[in-house]
Structure 1
Amino acid sequence: MFAELDEGAGAGQLDYVRPFVAPVAARAALVEDDLSLRLAEAIHAAFGEAASDKGLSRSEIAAACAHIASGETFEARFNVFVAMDMLRGPRDKPHEARYVFNPTSGAGLLVFERLAEDGGVEEIVTLLGRTHDRLQQGLLDEGQLATRLRQARHELVINTSHLLLLVRSRAIEELIAERRHHRSKDALLDHARQLVGAVRAQFPSLRSAGTRLIEAALRYSAAVDEFHERLLQQAGSKRDFSMLLPEQYVTAARRSSLDALAEVFAATVFDPASVQITAAQVLTAAAERRPSAPRRRPPRPAALTPGPDPVEAAREKAKMLRQRREASMQFWLNGGQEAELTSSLQALQWPAAISAVVDLLQASADPSVPYFVEVSKALAVSSDGPVTYATPLSVYRVPQDASGAAGESVDQEDSQ
């Protein structure tokens, strides 16, 4: 923000420093060049980059400003900065030649830059916004609020008179230099209406003061419109559109008719179009922009013929299978809580033994059946029996208090 300024930028900013300090100046003694301002900005940047609570020495400050001024020129301006309290030496240790930057001077540099970019109208918007905020917070009494309303109205009247003077009696160059300072009229009107609405709600006695503020804001808005109208006329007559702001182009594009916009290029000669498009590019573009095929809803399925519900039939089948598995487990337990089934399985024929083992394992895997089958890792051999090789199996009934949801469902089905 405070980097080195070129000559044009510094001079333009200095134009707003003189009237800014005029109310507190003892005599018209401001310098006519921007060297002091550029040195002040360089010193401000040096302190900001150093971030030292001990300050900077005179030599460090001179080194930071060497690209702008040095020698006697720097010394003369430096002594002015010290005398004007922009640079402060340590008061408790005057023998140490180190200085700190006065924050008030930093705020002044910010104000100077803002004035050069936005002018005083932005300060009016800020005044209206801060007044509204303090009013909403209950920090203003009736007298303070009346003073602020009057101050804002006076500023608007002064800016309106200044604009009308420029429009009606000054050269177009002065209008061009002033154009960027009056871009906030819509924001200003919004802030004024918002503030006046709050004033009427909390202090009805200040209704007339609010009305006068709105009238001043509307007169200023009309003066801005007249100001821009003269710029537009000048731009149209000379065909020099560099004097218009981007916001004015946007406004014209939104509010003007096509015929009015086309008049700008009525006398303009254009070269014939030279764009060549191949057949492949046309096919590619057509394929990319081809609308999607319409989506058709599939036909409704035919109504089901009356008959048994397949879902209920599946549920009934699962229920019967579970009952058969429970009956099989109860048969193997023979009324007990556990049983060793190796010898019983070896006594069966080979196909029957396979079927029994499968039923046992399926019943054990079913969480709704309260039985558990334990398979041993050993191998039982019977050379003269129907089943020569078998794995020892044991079946257990899960106790009632540890069966969980499966055991409870089994008990409920048994009770039914």
Structure 2
Amino acid sequence: MGDQLAFGDGEQADLAAAVQLANWRAFMAPVAEDAGAVARHPEVARVALAILKVFAEHSGPHGLTRAEVVQALAGDPRGWSSDLIEHRLTVLTRLGFLEPYLLKAHQDRYVVRPAGLAGALAAERLAEHGGVDELILLLDRARVVFDRSNPDPEAALDYLVSCRNALRVFALDLQRLVATGTPTELMEAQRQHDHQGFTRQVAELNEVVTSRFSGSWALEEAASALIEAEQFYRRQVMVAADKVLAQGGGSLNFDVLTVSEYTDAAFKGDVALLSQVGTALVADAPSVWIDPAQVLETVSGFAPRSGARGRPLVMDDAEQEEEPWEWAEGAHSRLLEDRRLLADELLAGDQEVDLTALLYAAGWPAAAAIITDVLALGDEPGEPYSVVVEDALLADPAASVTYLHPLLLRRHDVSDEADGGGDDV
């Protein structure tokens, strides 16, 4: 039995990166000057796509400078160094991906050439499906030629031959992988070729040829050859899938499908087929575990309970509750002491203090609490404090305390008489 792979296995990720790089190098081979024309790591393509995004989102009417591009990518979470970005900008500029805004010497503002955008998008599609998307585009372009009012027979024949050759190339590559590839390589290829609609597109194209070019032996022959190529390609896709399932099922390799595919199968799969998934799995039954605390808790829950009534508790005379009036006197004494401390803190050693500014600064409701405490203290018999509320009225609509009478707090002997400048409380 083979080794079981886990989700997100590093080997599969490394293979995917290697396959992407191989596809990009093969993609650029027809227009490469030498074998070193394509970079050796897929990360350079991601930097180019990031540079393209910066130009699309931040470019002004006169393009961007190299420094502006480097600054825009400085906070990228992928952590590319400024040297790598500068190097990619140099290569992209020399190859014409980035063009000077003005075709003059010493121009440092650049724009993206649309052909470079098309190449970046094609590289991204190539990384995802290994070029199968281009085959779909080729079939679509062939259909456009046949849908014209007066299609050119030679152009239609060229497209039919091109589609047939492309399908043959993909089919032969799959046939080689089935014979020589590892299960991991087959799984990666299976995901790249996971496209629907090939058979329908080829069949519809053949019907158009039959209806519009009836009697043209060359076109009908090419259409039949295209159907044979599609069937050959489809057989290789199915053989690759069968081999992946057979080897993956025999080795209990759960990487045969992606996580999203397992989730989709759980929601949409047939119940009878899903019930067979775990028939070949071997798992030990979990051991029973219980700690001493759980044992004691369980035993106490099943302990018999006595039905005898217990004797009532005898209250000690020393612990009798205090009388309500004693509690009220104590509470009043504590409140009075708190008010004395507040008054002494406000006076700060003086015999008299003007509380008006303090009340404005304290704001509402702190000012109301101070006024209540000092008025109550001044009204308390035997206390050496009095409060003078003057007649003047101070109003400030913007303040927290909107209006207030000037307020004086005094400390004196009980025998002293209050001043006559206002109401002495």
TM-score where L is the length of structure 2: 0.56
1:177 is matched with which residue? 188
Superposition pairs of residues 143-292 of structure 1, within 5 angstroms: 143-184=154-195, 186-204=196-214, 205=216, 206-244=219-257, 258=272, 261-268=274-281
CA contact (8 A) 1:231 1:244 kept: no
2:110 is matched with which residue? 99
Partner SS state of residue 264, structure 1: coil
CA contact (8 A) 1:13 1:112 kept: no
Unaligned runs of 5+ in 2: 1-12, 287-425
Match of 1:28 among 26, 35, 39: 35
CA contact (8 A) 2:183 2:248 kept: no
Query: Normalized per residue, which structure has more helix?
Result: 1
> Cα offset for 1:257?
9.3
> Cα offset for 1:91?
3.2
Name the % identity. Answer: 31
Amino acid at match of 2:237: V
Measured against aligned partners, the alpha-carbon deviations of 1:260-318 in whole angstroms (never above 9, x if no partner) come to: 6543322456989xxxxxxxxxxxxxxxxxxxxxxxxxxxxxxxxxxxxxxxxxxxxxx
Superposition pairs of residues 23-172 of structure 1, within 5 angstroms: 23-29=30-36, 30-66=38-74, 67=76, 68-138=79-149, 140-172=151-183
Aligned-residue RMSD, C-alpha: 3.1
Unaligned runs of 5+ in 1: 1-6, 273-416
Pair 1:17-2:24 in alignment: yes
Mapped partners of 2:30, 2:150: distance in 1: 28
CA contact (8 A) 2:202 2:226 kept: yes
Amino acid at match of 2:224: T
Amino acid at match of 1:176: M
Count of residue pairs the alignment pairs up = 264
Partner SS state of residue 96, structure 2: coil
CA contact (8 A) 2:97 2:112 kept: yes
> Cα offset for 1:26?
1.0
Task: Pick closer, same or farther for the CA change 1:254–1:201 going to 2, 3 Å.
Answer: farther
Task: Pick closer, same or farther for the CA change 1:227–1:55 going to 2, 3 Å.
Answer: same
1:289 is matched with which residue? none
The structure with the largest alpha-carbon Rg is 1
Mapped partners of 1:65, 1:76: distance in 2: 14
Mapped partners of 1:10, 1:139: distance in 2: 46
Amino acid at match of 1:49: E
Task: Pick closer, same or farther for the CA change 1:90–1:248 going to 2, 3 Å.
Answer: same
CA contact (8 A) 1:55 1:98 kept: yes
Mapped partners of 1:169, 1:113: distance in 2: 27
Mapped partners of 1:252, 1:71: distance in 2: 46
Mapped partners of 2:269, 2:83: distance in 1: 59
CA contact (8 A) 1:156 1:220 kept: yes
1:312 is matched with which residue? none
Mapped partners of 1:221, 1:254: distance in 2: 24
CA contact (8 A) 1:14 1:37 kept: no
> Cα offset for 1:145?
0.6
Measured against aligned partners, the alpha-carbon deviations of 1:334-390 in whole angstroms (never above 9, x if no partner) come to: xxxxxxxxxxxxxxxxxxxxxxxxxxxxxxxxxxxxxxxxxxxxxxxxxxxxxxxxx
1:322 is matched with which residue? none
Task: Pick closer, same or farther for the CA change 1:138–1:48 going to 2, 3 Å.
Answer: same
Amino acid at match of 1:50: H
Partner SS state of residue 22, structure 2: helix
Mapped partners of 1:210, 1:251: distance in 2: 37
2:319 is matched with which residue? none
Superposition pairs of residues 336-415 of structure 1, within 5 angstroms: none
Measured against aligned partners, the alpha-carbon deviations of 1:210-231 in whole angstroms (never above 9, x if no partner) come to: 0110011011111111110001
Greater length-normalized contact order (CA 8 Å, ≥ 6 residues apart): 2
CA contact (8 A) 2:202 2:227 kept: yes
Partner SS state of residue 110, structure 2: strand
2:404 is matched with which residue? none
Mapped partners of 2:265, 2:203: distance in 1: 23
Task: Pick closer, same or farther for the CA change 1:64–1:265 going to 2, 3 Å.
Answer: same
Mapped partners of 2:70, 2:264: distance in 1: 47
Task: Pick closer, same or farther for the CA change 1:267–1:232 going to 2, 3 Å.
Answer: closer
CA contact (8 A) 1:235 1:244 kept: no
Task: Pick closer, same or farther for the CA change 1:28–1:267 going to 2, 3 Å.
Answer: closer
2:292 is matched with which residue? none
Task: Pick closer, same or farther for the CA change 1:27–1:145 going to 2, 3 Å.
Answer: same
Partner SS state of residue 215, structure 1: helix
